[in-house]
Structure 1
Amino acid sequence: MHRWLVASCGDIRAARLSRRRGDAPKSAPPSPSPSPPRQRLRKTGSEAAMMLAVPKDVEEFRTMSAYGNNLELFTYDQLRAATGDFSAERIVGEGGFGVVYKGVIHGAEVAVKQLNPDGHQGDREWLTEVSYLGQYSHPNLVELIGYCCDDDHRLLVYEYMANGSLENHLFRRSCNLSWTTRVKIALDVARGLAFLHGGDRPIIYRDFKTSNILLDADAKAKLSDFGLAKEGPRGGKTHVSTRVMGTYGYAAPEYVATGHLTAMSDVYGFGVVLLEMLVGRRALEPAANRRAAGRRDGGGGCSLVDWARPILIRSKKLERIVDLRMGLQQLHGGVERVARLAYDCLSQNPKVRPSMGRVVQTLEAVLADEHRHHAAAAAAAPGAAE
């Protein structure tokens, strides 16, 4: 999968934060004098209206002391020490932004992302990530602990996610993500998107894909990589006009065609990921790979959405495309409801797509039904307590 800019046709490999281990707790940063623990802002509802704008450049960022209330400022030497002098043995991911290293700070494992000064992504995306993750805190957003902007060095320090990316689990041959686990992951990230969309100043994530969904030790999912996030329309406006950026296969068709960005653009991306989780295949897969695997999808192209979306509302055909690795003995109402949800999210008409709030409600209901079903099955099993 590649990030892309329509204006420049520049492809950028997506960062793979995929082999993180040890989701350790954070300790308070050291200080020359006693000070209260670092507090994270939690913006919801009307509080979001107070959100700071993304600085236009690093010099302006350095004058905005409010960011220091939420994030720890690291020196380059601190992060070099934390990563063993940026040792190649500590590398856990690499992409257009640069390289991600495993590090230890204050006795806790962290992920340190270093901007490549010669790469395609620059200060603007670094500032966007610091700005949004520095002001917002939510259980389903990866925590940004701090940053470094010494001289020309641009680094970000995150909590360390023990189970890496959803992409790394979902598309390997030995994937063992059960149906219930996949629904939980979908619900987690749906809550994260709903939170971003729900403020007075909504944030459009703009790069929703499996490589940007990270899992902690308990498989709790969180959104990462906010470099392409954008403030959504306000004041009665219907959309934000912007240069088209995102990842092939996940960007909404109307956004690609017009540059008009709305929260429904994220909903479409969510639908693509939900479809990938149902089917166990990538949104875009080279035809050669499909032939090598002995698969005949019945379509001339390699777009999973084009091939699979019509099948999502055909119960008799649905069982032919669902991922057998989920361990389902047979399809049931929950699978059909999630398939229908993916179908609606992937509508060509953005006005027909559900809000992320509705998506959350649907997945919560599906998960509640799953829990009731398992509880009933356990109670009816031989040897169950009377």
Structure 2
Amino acid sequence: MDEEEVHIAVGKNSRKEKANILWAAANFPRATIVLVHVHWPSKWMPFMGGKVLYKFADEKEKEMHRGRETKAMVNMLSQYKNLCGTRKVSAHYLTHDDTVAGVVNLVKKLKIKRIVIGSRNMSRQVALHQCCQVWVVLNGKHISTSNDHLEHSGNIGYGGSSDILASIHELGEESDGYMTPPSDLADESMDEEELNEMDDSDQLVMVQYIDCFHHVVQEDETMTEQGTEESIASDEMENSAEEDADQSDEIQSFRNVTEKAEKIMEEIDGLQKKLKELQGEGPNRDARSLSPRQMAASLKRKSLSEPRYPELQIPENIERFSTSQIGKATDHFHSRNFIGEGGYGPVYKGKLGDTPVAIKMLKPHGRQGFPEYQQEVMVLSKLEHPHIVRLMGVCPESCSLVYEHLPNGTLLERLSKGLLWKDRVRILAEQRSALAYLHSRRPHAIIHADLKLTNILLDAGNVSRLGDFGTARAVHVKPLEEETIGRRTNPMGTTGYMDPVFFMTGELTTESDVYAFGVVILQLLTGLLDLNVTEQAREAVKMDAVHSVLDVSAGAWPEVQAERLLKLALRCCSLERKRRPAITSDAEWRSLDILRAMATPASKSWKWNSHGS
């Protein structure tokens, strides 16, 4: 047998590729080993725990990120070469968005006679069989060999232009990376027609948040890409482990980017509020000439003589409380009654008569303000559901909100103290019920827009309530098609839970809540609170090791059903909105239904109801 050269198609799965390279080295002792790789340029850029389309990045950012991708790929090939020690090894790679076409073009250009492939799917490609002999090796074990002898023909296989063939690169001995030529990549910039279809306000929102994104990415040029290359030999080996030595660094990079994004969003909120204040200060232009002390005195007199906030029409079913009643209920906001603080302001527990309550105070210069207060009052006054927090009253003078008191705090706090899987599943079923109730309202569905662990509250029996409706929005539902229409609004919500499509486009739909709910499900299943919990869950599915990520502190999970629910949660987190399950569809949520039934004692019959508990 001719043993001048043996070519090995390698991908990104280092453990699998190591086994295949060592197998080839042992079985072809006198042959020169040649590694070949198709570099698949990703269409997404990692951002805020998710990914953003390259069409929203400028050319400089694309070039920087492509450079990082290519450098990581070259480093990977260099590591593979080192596996063979002093053995003569070379490596070639081609950038292509079709792995099969890329492999065939490599075979044609390099005149490969035999190739070791680590994927059953790739080995079945007819175009590849027409080019060369194919050895199928999985995890270091020889499975089959096709075409005992085949002379190479440059005219067989996928048609390839001279430009594509010329773009094959050989990895040099001292190579530290190769910047992929722009000609190798497809133009992904946004079409002018797409921009022309957007009205002025939509373009303004898009520009504002793309600029925010650009600023974050440029500040963190050391951020590494996670999962950007599609392996040649991984189509049928999704259960193989991908051991990336830089995983911890990548997670930290995501966190760094997230923190910077949050700061920028806070700055934008602050600037918008200042703009509103300035727009309302037209009659007070003369006050700008006052000294700081005179201005402070003037503002104090104004606050005493005029209402602090605009007048809000309070619905009849919502009780009004005075500032003195609120103060008395909280023992004048004593520190022992302090519960916590969010974007709206501090929360205190108190008593109005014999009723324990939680009072949320509006913080004058907080991230949220009067619009959120107004929105929460108007939305909650129309809702009545056992798993949505009940608004008992308001204090118009201070924009305070009075709720029923839920003594077990937030779901995040309860999870940190330990929570059995049966309770977790029950809470998920309760929250799915609450979301289904909101999304099925007619003629306007309600989108919560900020679903997360800290906005799910628990009563004394750990029964859950969905709270914080300051960012909620009502959207029209078509009466015939029963299709929810999205609405354009500035991106809002919480990093890690925010729908990436909403962040990119400003289009809020019910699918945005489904995305956040998917993240909540994954957090309860795994106990992982990292922003990249979806990536960790996807890796567990690929490795067929879902059991390894289930939170053992929750007890013995029913693994089959838990795995089905985890896969459903990953569908919720899909970047394609059409793939996400509708929260109102009982058929889509059967895995949660079954788990809920398994968690319920036999003595208590339980039947799913999408509009109740």
Match in the other structure for 1:326: 554
Matched, 1:309 2:560: no
- Using the TM superposition, give the Cα deviation of residue 316 of structure 1 relative to its aligned residue in structure 2, in angstroms: 3.3
Structure 1's 355 and 116: CA in aligned 2 closer, same or farther, altered over 3 A?
Answer: same
Match in the other structure for 2:126: none
Q: Which amino acid is 2:404 matched to?
A: E
Match of 1:155 among 400, 403, 426: 400
Matched, 1:353 2:604: no
Matched, 1:270 2:517: yes
Match in the other structure for 2:499: 252
Q: What pairs with 1:22-33 in structure 2 (closer than 5 Å)?
A: none
Query: In 2, distance between residues paired with 1:224 and 1:95?
Result: 12
Match of 1:61 among 309, 312, 317: 312
Query: In 1, distance between residues paired with 2:418 and 2:367?
Result: 35
Q: Is the 8 A contact 1:163 1:219 kept in 2?
A: yes
Q: Which amino acid is 1:319 matched to?
A: H
Q: What per-residue deviation string (whole Å, max 9, x for no partner) do you get for residues 250-293 of structure 1? A: 01111111111100000000000000001101142xxxxxxxxx
Structure 1's 7 and 113: CA in aligned 2 closer, same or farther, altered over 3 A?
Answer: closer
Structure 1's 4 and 144: CA in aligned 2 closer, same or farther, altered over 3 A?
Answer: farther
Query: In 2, distance between residues paired with 1:206 and 1:219?
Result: 23
Query: In 2, distance between residues paired with 1:144 and 1:237?
Result: 26
Bigger mean CA offset, 98-107 vs 356-365: 356-365
Secondary structure of 2:402 counterpart? strand
Matched, 1:341 2:568: yes
Q: What per-residue deviation string (whole Å, max 9, x for no partner) do you get for residues 226-270 of structure 1? A: 010011243467421110001000011111111111000000000
Q: Which amino acid is 1:181 matched to?
A: D
Q: Is the 8 A contact 1:209 1:269 kept in 2?
A: yes
Match in the other structure for 1:196: 438
Match of 1:80 among 327, 330, 339: 327
Secondary structure of 1:319 counterpart? helix
Q: Is the 8 A contact 1:5 1:244 kept in 2?
A: no
Query: In 2, distance between residues paired with 1:337 and 1:227?
Result: 33
Q: What per-residue deviation string (whole Å, max 9, x for no partner) do you get for residues 32-60 of structure 1? A: xxxxxxxxxxxxxxxxxxxxxxxxx9646
Q: Which amino acid is 2:454 matched to?
A: S
Match of 1:166 among 411, 425, 449: 411
Q: What pairs with 1:154-233 in structure 2 (closer than 5 Å)?
A: 154-170=399-415, 172=416, 175-200=417-442, 201-233=444-476
Query: In 2, distance between residues paired with 1:233 and 1:6?
Result: 31
Q: Which amino acid is 1:71 matched to?
A: I
Unaligned stretches of 5+ residues in structure 2:
1-257, 271-307, 604-613
Query: In 1, distance between residues paired with 2:559 and 2:589?
Result: 20
Unaligned stretches of 5+ residues in structure 1:
13-56, 285-302, 376-386
Structure 1's 97 and 188: CA in aligned 2 closer, same or farther, altered over 3 A?
Answer: same
Q: Which amino acid is 2:445 matched to?
A: P
Q: What per-residue deviation string (whole Å, max 9, x for no partner) do you get for residues 12-47 of structure 1? A: 9xxxxxxxxxxxxxxxxxxxxxxxxxxxxxxxxxxx
Structure 1's 226 and 6: CA in aligned 2 closer, same or farther, altered over 3 A?
Answer: farther
Query: In 1, distance between residues paired with 2:593 and 2:393?
Result: 33
Secondary structure of 2:548 counterpart? coil
Larger radius of gyration: 2
Match in the other structure for 2:351: 104
- Using the TM superposition, give the Cα deviation of residue 305 of structure 1 relative to its aligned residue in structure 2, in angstroms: 1.6
Q: Is the 8 A contact 1:58 1:127 kept in 2?
A: no
Q: What per-residue deviation string (whole Å, max 9, x for no partner) do you get for residues 131-183 of structure 1? A: 11111111010000000112xx110000000211101122x2xx321111100
Structure 1's 240 and 73: CA in aligned 2 closer, same or farther, altered over 3 A?
Answer: same
Secondary structure of 1:112 counterpart? strand
Q: Is the 8 A contact 1:4 1:245 kept in 2?
A: no
Secondary structure of 2:312 counterpart? helix
Query: In 2, distance between residues paired with 1:145 and 1:260?
Result: 32
Match of 1:118 among 337, 341, 365: 365
Q: What pairs with 1:14-53 in structure 2 (closer than 5 Å)?
A: none
Q: Which amino acid is 1:197 matched to?
A: H
Q: Is the 8 A contact 1:253 1:348 kept in 2?
A: yes
Query: In 2, distance between residues paired with 1:333 and 1:159?
Result: 38
Q: Is the 8 A contact 2:338 2:347 kept in 1?
A: yes
Q: Is the 8 A contact 2:425 2:599 kept in 1?
A: no
Structure 1's 80 and 323: CA in aligned 2 closer, same or farther, altered over 3 A?
Answer: same
Query: In 2, distance between residues paired with 1:327 and 1:362?
Result: 19
Query: In 2, distance between residues paired with 1:162 and 1:8?
Result: 30
Q: What per-residue deviation string (whole Å, max 9, x for no partner) do you get for residues 65-107 of structure 1? A: 6x02x11100011000000011112100112211100100121
Q: What per-residue deviation string (whole Å, max 9, x for no partner) do you get for residues 310-351 of structure 1? A: 42x4583111111110111x6532212211221221111111
Q: Which amino acid is 2:546 matched to?
A: L
- Using the TM superposition, give the Cα deviation of residue 113 of structure 1 relative to its aligned residue in structure 2, in angstroms: 0.5
Q: Which amino acid is 1:105 matched to?
A: L
Query: In 1, distance between residues paired with 2:265 and 2:407?
Result: 37
Query: In 1, distance between residues paired with 2:511 and 2:420?
Result: 28
Match in the other structure for 1:39: none
Query: In 2, distance between residues paired with 1:104 and 1:8?
Result: 34
Structure 1's 277 and 191: CA in aligned 2 closer, same or farther, altered over 3 A?
Answer: same
Q: Which amino acid is 2:506 matched to?
A: G
Structure 1's 319 and 110: CA in aligned 2 closer, same or farther, altered over 3 A?
Answer: same
Match in the other structure for 1:133: 380
Query: In 1, distance between residues paired with 2:402 and 2:506?
Result: 32
CA RMSD, 1 decimal: 2.5
Query: In 2, distance between residues paired with 1:322 and 1:71?
Result: 43
Query: In 2, distance between residues paired with 1:348 and 1:281?
Result: 21
Match in the other structure for 2:21: none
